Amino acid sequence: MWNKVFHFGHTVIFTRQFATVQAQNRRVVVTGVGCVSAVGVSAEVAWKNILSAQCGIVKLTDPSYANLPCRVAAQISKDEFDLTKIFSKGDLKAMSPAIAYSLIATKEALTCANWFPTDLEAQNRTGVAVGIGMVNLPDICEMNNSLQQGYNRVSPFFIPRILLNMAAGHISIKYGFRGPNHAVSTACATGAHAIGDGYRFIQSNLADVMVCGAGEAPISPLCIAGFSRLRSLSTSFNDDPQKSSRPFDKKREGFVIGEGAAICILESLDHAKQRQAPIFGEILGYGCSGDAAHLTSPREDGLGAQLAMQRALEDAQLSPVNIGYVNAHATSTPMGDAIESRAITHVFGNHNVAVSSTKGAHGHLLGSAGNLETMFTILACRDGKLPPTINLTDVSDDMKHLNFVANTSQPWSGHKRRIALKNAFGFGGTNACLCIGEFRENT
């Protein structure tokens, strides 16, 4: 409903009179998914490869990596996926690879959702919540070198390329989306927070549709050197890269950097039904918390992770017994995986919940990890198949009570409705958890 409010000369200004909607009564569903990753450059291909335990981690052969402790990454094949064949030279001057990946994933997700509105009202009610976790370091290195040669050698696109909200900006501009234009940057929780915030925007009736997720393209010598100095990365599998990322395994020693993007189209259920959109799943709850403990390490007792999971359950008005699966953040670090397993045990007690991490297949996409893994969790709820934790040959003794879906996917059984939690944690002690469910008309 629109009301005339005031006018300037011959121009009449209208504002929309919004109905008051209780957050808990406005259901939010997923109507489209898209991704670019080392394990697949479309959602369904990536999901098929995840279920078949494929791995996209490769050895870094460029000489610039030769003297670094870590020489593996989950890198998208430039031979098979060439950005210069997708974007013009002018486009690529104005965007970093993370932005380009985000645009590609967005196009797939919007096509999947069949949502390319052209009328003003629909565009005004469609928003974007897409983040980037890390600034594009190669741009900074290159422009610093250019500056030494002269001021005029610095690209006018330098600043727009490194701003962390520019993926959201490009998407909004390309498709004319004038709803909330939001960018999250919360380290490795970025993508999950973006989806959670998009969910809140729809619940609060600030939008009917939200394009949500994140992109990341961190693979560079400086980035790998920096994480290596933190002793965060795997270094013992440089000659056997597909074995390097091994969540929950006794031989885990650090994560493997990955790149890519994943986008989920969130939509109010009423809006999706009205236009007969496909529905992949439902976002049931969202919880977030802070560790308040350390810059790079989680709390040893896992309290921050526990709070995020508990808050997601409370938001969904569910209890642990309703959950059949947890898609863990588990990056393959000795401390992080152990702490998360303790947090899961604390929340679920003796309830038999399956837990897996898909990072053994696609690496750790930093800011784009939570959203890519949320997409896999949505598809797990849709298909009733649990994605495996690959490279898990010997579970640590303190974790053997959990079902980590080791190496082979498993059927999801034993629950009336398939409901999962998705964890994502980041440096600075930032935590997010999404509660995701199989879509059912009547809950």
Percent of the chain with pLDDT over 90: 86
**Helix (H/G/I), strand (E/B), else coil: 418:** coil
Strands 419-426, 430-437: pairing is: antiparallel
283 bridge partner residues: 28, 436
Tokens of 326: 């947890």
Of the residues 329, 362, 381, 433, only one is catalytic, namely: 329
Contacts of 268 (CB under 8 A, 6+ apart): 26, 27, 28, 29, 202, 208, 209
CA dihedral 290, 316, 211, 366 (to 10 degrees): 30
260 bridge partner residues: 37, 216
Q: What is the DSSP string of 156-187?
A: TTHHHHH-TTHHHHHHHHHHT--S-EE----G
Q: What is the pLDDT of residue 233?
A: 98
> By the 8 A CB rule, do 198 and 171 touch?
no
Nearest by Cα to 257 from 237, 236, 232: 232
**If residue 372 lies in a helix (H) or strand (E), which one and from where to where?**
helix 369-383
Tokens of 24: 């808990």
Which stretches of 291-367 are assigned E, i.e. beta strand?
325-327, 354-356
The predicted-structure confidence for 201-222, as pLDDT tens digits, reads as follows 999 999 999 999 999 999 999 9
Clarify whether 170 is annotated catalytic: no
Of the residues 70, 362, 364, 435, only one is catalytic, namely: 364
Residue 13 binned pLDDT confidence (cut-offs 50, 70, 90): very low
Clarify whether 182 is annotated catalytic: no
Gap between the Cα atoms of 310 and 220, Å rounded? 37
How much is the average pLDDT of 143-152? 95
Of the residues 188, 223, 288, 381, only one is catalytic, namely: 188
Strands 260-268, 209-216: pairing is: antiparallel
- Which residue reads 């005031």 in tokens? 6
Please check the confidence at residue 317 and state whether its pLDDT lies above 90. Answer: yes
Nearest by Cα to 199 from 212, 187, 183: 212
Q: State the pTM of this model.
A: 0.93
Please check the confidence at residue 25 and state whether its pLDDT lies above 80. Answer: no
Tokens of 336: 């992080």
Clarify whether 329 is annotated catalytic: yes
Residue 12 binned pLDDT confidence (cut-offs 50, 70, 90): very low
> By the 8 A CB rule, do 387 and 360 touch?
no
Gap between the Cα atoms of 124 and 229, Å rounded? 46
Q: What is the DSSP string of 384-400?
A: TEEPPBTT-SSB-GGGT
- Which residue reads 């038999």 in tokens? 352
The predicted-structure confidence for 243-291, as pLDDT tens digits, reads as follows 999 999 999 999 999 999 999 999 999 999 999 999 999 999 999 999 8
- The CA-atom distances, in angstroms, between 32 and each of 40, 67, 112, 281 are 17, 42, 5, 10
Contacts of 35 (CB under 8 A, 6+ apart): 41, 42, 43, 46, 105, 108, 260, 261, 262, 263, 372, 375
Gap between the Cα atoms of 53 and 102, Å rounded? 25
Please check the confidence at residue 24 and state whether its pLDDT lies above 80. Answer: no
Q: What is the pLDDT of residue 430?
A: 96
How much is the average pLDDT of 378-399? 95
